[in-house]
């Protein structure tokens, strides 16, 4: 069968979407899916499904040679299937395969003295930014490695990050930024800078996307921060910075007020954490205890070894989320059934009340009709002069009271079934969805 004539059925898995994308132009496929071509392109990107390049269909129409790539394997955060109306964010309940850390994946060797790709030009971008009142850098760019550091400690921290990133890459584990539209969470490092919250809120820099290490399909968050220490400081209004009070020069600040502030201490820590919702795993390493090479090797090996633990925690979180989903669905169905019963009883009550009003109105109409019929009968026995005068008054009275047709009221009556049918087409229609 010609793929162009096939109807699109949801959900679409990666293989089916790949076949459809390469069987017809995006505009035609998007129309079949009921979305725009640009939206469908974003779906393909999120599912890592390659699309034909510009001019592909024109070349194919005139018989020119074109190449169709193969479908790559899905990445750890790629969507595996998509349905219209579900959005293009990968589900946080997707299970990840447990990594085999005994295997040695393909490694990457760095050139001597080279910077890791995500660290190139980072120093200049950090220094071009601003600083917090207590001395931490705040670059303007938001897609940068997850580092929190002062200008004095930037050079050392970048070298530490570079060696650490390359250590993971050389063991076959990719270091990269968090994918777009992911459900992963970034842990805040502020508790390590202001553990006792001595000061008012300080807006520290944070990236839009976390820095991750992938051990197989398992993502592990990684951040490097410069620790702080609480010291006596004076506020410099010209630079809007807190300056450490030097005891030898204390007389310089005798006319200024001082306060305790957490300012960068020149000591660094590496923090690895689980970015998956519902999981609690975090490990911290201080970098000033042993030799730098030993520290990096220890961090790398312990982080890689933690991947099965994080995978297990994620599986448990998925099971808890699925259990909560099932419980919510049971409660939702119970509520639907109870609400349907309530609405049914209300429909019967409203329909009965309306019918009683119609019956009461019918009696009133019949009473008025009987009055005028009897008046006409009595008037008909009078002489012509009196009869004509009273008939004029009776007609005027009829016009003033108006026409009362009880059948019209009966036509407006709605049965309980009719009232329930109306609910199905209103905002309460979700009660009747299967």
Which two structure tokens, joined as six digits, stand for 46?
């999120």
Which pLDDT does position 360 carry in this prediction? 82
| CA 39/CA 403 separation, integer angstroms | 60
Residue 390, burial from CB neighbour count under 10 angstroms (0-12, 13-18, 19+): middle
| CA 406/CA 363 separation, integer angstroms | 9
| CA 434/CA 422 separation, integer angstroms | 18
Mean pLDDT in order along the chain per 10 residues (434 residues): 61 89 91 88 86 90 88 76 71 67 65 85 92 89 93 94 93 88 82 60 82 92 91 79 69 63 88 93 83 87 94 91 91 89 89 86 80 84 83 81 67 83 68 60
- In sequence order, the 6+-apart residues with CB closer than 8 A to the CB of 300 are 164, 167, 168, 171
Which pLDDT does position 198 carry in this prediction? 45
What is the helix (H) or strand (E) element at residue 333, kind and residue range? helix 307-379
Which pLDDT does position 80 carry in this prediction? 78
Crossing angle (nearest 10°) for helices 292-305 and 307-379: 50
Which two structure tokens, joined as six digits, stand for 59?
């070349």
Which pLDDT does position 1 carry in this prediction? 42
| N residues, the chain | 434
Do the beta carbons of residue 82 and residue 11 sit within 8 Å?
A: yes
Distance of CA 148 to the CA centre of its chain: 26
Q: Are strands 258-273 and 218-236 parallel, antiparallel or unpaired?
A: antiparallel
Which pLDDT does position 427 carry in this prediction? 56
Q: What is the separation, in whole angstroms, between the first and last Cα of the chain? A: 33
| CA 360/CA 12 separation, integer angstroms | 60
Do the beta carbons of residue 93 and residue 321 sit within 8 Å?
A: yes
Please count the other Cβ atoms lying within 10 Å of the Cβ belonging to residue 119: 19
Which pLDDT does position 47 carry in this prediction? 84
Which pLDDT does position 289 carry in this prediction? 55
3-state DSSP call for residue 151? coil
What is the helix (H) or strand (E) element at residue 228, kind and residue range? strand 218-236
Which pLDDT does position 199 carry in this prediction? 47
- Residue 92, CB-side half-sphere exposure with 13 Å CA sphere: 16
């Amino acid at each position: 069968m010609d793929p162009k004539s096939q109807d699109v059925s949801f959900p679409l898995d990666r293989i089916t979407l790949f076949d459809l994308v390469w069987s017809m132009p995006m505009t035609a496929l998007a129309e079949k899916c009921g979305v725009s071509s640009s939206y469908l392109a974003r779906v393909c990107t999120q599912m890592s499904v390659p699309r034909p390049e510009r001019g592909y269909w024109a070349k194919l129409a005139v018989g020119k040679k074109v190449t169709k790539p193969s479908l790559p394997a899905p990445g750890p955060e790629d969507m595996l299937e998509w349905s219209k109306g579900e959005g293009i964010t990968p589900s946080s309940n997707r299970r990840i395969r447990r990594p085999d850390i005994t295997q040695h994946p393909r490694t990457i060797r760095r050139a001597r003295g080279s910077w890791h790709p995500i660290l190139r030009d980072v120093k200049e971008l950090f220094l071009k930014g601003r600083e917090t009142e207590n001395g931490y850098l705040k670059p303007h760019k938001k897609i940068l490695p997850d580092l929190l550091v002062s200008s004095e400690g930037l050079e050392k921290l970048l070298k530490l990050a570079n060696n650490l990133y390359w250590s993971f890459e050389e063991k076959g584990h990719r270091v990269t930024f968090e994918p777009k539209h992911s459900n992963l969470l970034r842990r805040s490092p502020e508790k390590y800078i202001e553990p006792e919250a001595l000061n008012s809120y300080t807006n520290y820099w944070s990236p839009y996307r976390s820095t991750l290490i992938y051990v197989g399909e398992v993502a592990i968050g990684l951040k490097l921060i410069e620790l702080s220490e609480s010291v006596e400081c004076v506020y410099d209004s010209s630079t809007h910075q807190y300056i450490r009070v030097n005891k030898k020069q204390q007389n310089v600040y005798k006319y200024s007020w001082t306060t305790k502030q957490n300012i960068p201490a020149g000591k660094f820590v590496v923090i690895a954490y689980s970015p998956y919702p519902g999981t609690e795993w975090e490990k911290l390493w201080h970098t000033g205890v042993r030799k730098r090479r030993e520290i990096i090797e220890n961090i790398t090996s312990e982080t890689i070894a933690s991947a099965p633990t994080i995978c297990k925690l994620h599986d448990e979180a998925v099971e808890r989320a699925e259990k909560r989903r099932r419980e919510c669905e049971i409660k939702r169905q119970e509520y639907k059934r109870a609400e349907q019963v309530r609405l049914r009883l209300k429909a019967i009550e409203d329909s009965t009340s309306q019918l009683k009003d119609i019956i009461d109105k019918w009696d009133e109409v019949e009473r008025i009709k009987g009055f005028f019929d009897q008046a006409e009968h009595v008037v008909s026995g009078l002489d012509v002069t009196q009869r004509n005068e009273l008939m004029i008054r009776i007609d005027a009275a009829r016009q003033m009271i108006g026409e009362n047709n009880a059948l019209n009221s009966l036509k407006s009556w709605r049965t309980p079934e009719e009232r329930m049918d109306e609910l199905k087409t209103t905002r309460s229609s979700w009660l009747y969805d299967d």
